[in-house]
Structure 1
Amino acid sequence: MEKVYAWRLAKNKYRESALDGVGSALSGGRWNSVGTPVVYAASTLALAVLEVRVHIPLANFQPRARYVGLEILIDSACIENVTKLPRGWRITPAASTESTAARRFGDQWTSEKRSVALRLPSAVIPSEFIYLLNPAHLDFSRAVQLGKEIEVFLDPRLWR
Structure 2
Amino acid sequence: MIIYRLAIEAFKDDLSGTGSKLFGGRWNHPGYPAIYTAENISLAVLEILVNADKNNIPPSYFLLKLQVPDNLPFKLITQSSLKEKWYNDFEYTQFIGSKFLALGKEAVLKMPSAIVKEEYNYLLNPAHTDFKKIIIKESTPFDLDIRLLKK
TM-score by length of 2: 0.90
Deviations 1:28-68 (A, max 9, x none): 111000111100000011111111011112221234xx310
Equivalent in the alignment of 2:73: 78
Map of 1:11 onto structure 2: 8
| 1:135-155 CA-partner distances (Å, limit 9, x unpaired) | 00011102x111112210112
Query: 1:159 is matched with which residue?
Result: 149
Match of 2:135 in 1: 145
Name stretches of at least 5 consecutive residues in structure 2 with no aligned partner: none
Offset at 1:85? Answer: 2.4
Distance 1:48 1:103, change over 3 A: same
Letter in 1 for 2:121: I
Equivalent residue number for residue 20 of structure 2: 24
Percent of pairs identical after alignment?
33
74, 88, 94: which one pairs with 1:103? 94
Aligned equivalent of 1:95? none
Equivalent pairs, count: 147
2: distance between equivalents of 1:62 and 1:140? 28
| SS in structure 1 at match of 2:52 | coil
The answer to whether the Cα contact below 8 Å between 1:88 and 1:102 also exists between their aligned partners in 2 is no
Cα contact 1:86–1:105 (8 A) shared by 2: no
Structure 2 residue 51 is the aligned partner of structure 1 residue 55: yes
> What code does the residue aligned with 2:74 have?
I
| Matching residue of 2:118 | 127
Kindly report the root-mean-square deviation, in angstroms, between the aligned alpha carbons of the 2 structures: 1.5
TM-score by length of 1: 0.85
Pick aligned residue for 1:117 from 105, 108, 127: 108
- What's the CA shift for 1:78? 2.1
2:139 counterpart letter in structure 1: E
- Distance 1:112-1:147 versus aligned 2 partners, 3 A rule: same
Q: Which amino acid aligns with 1:146?
A: I
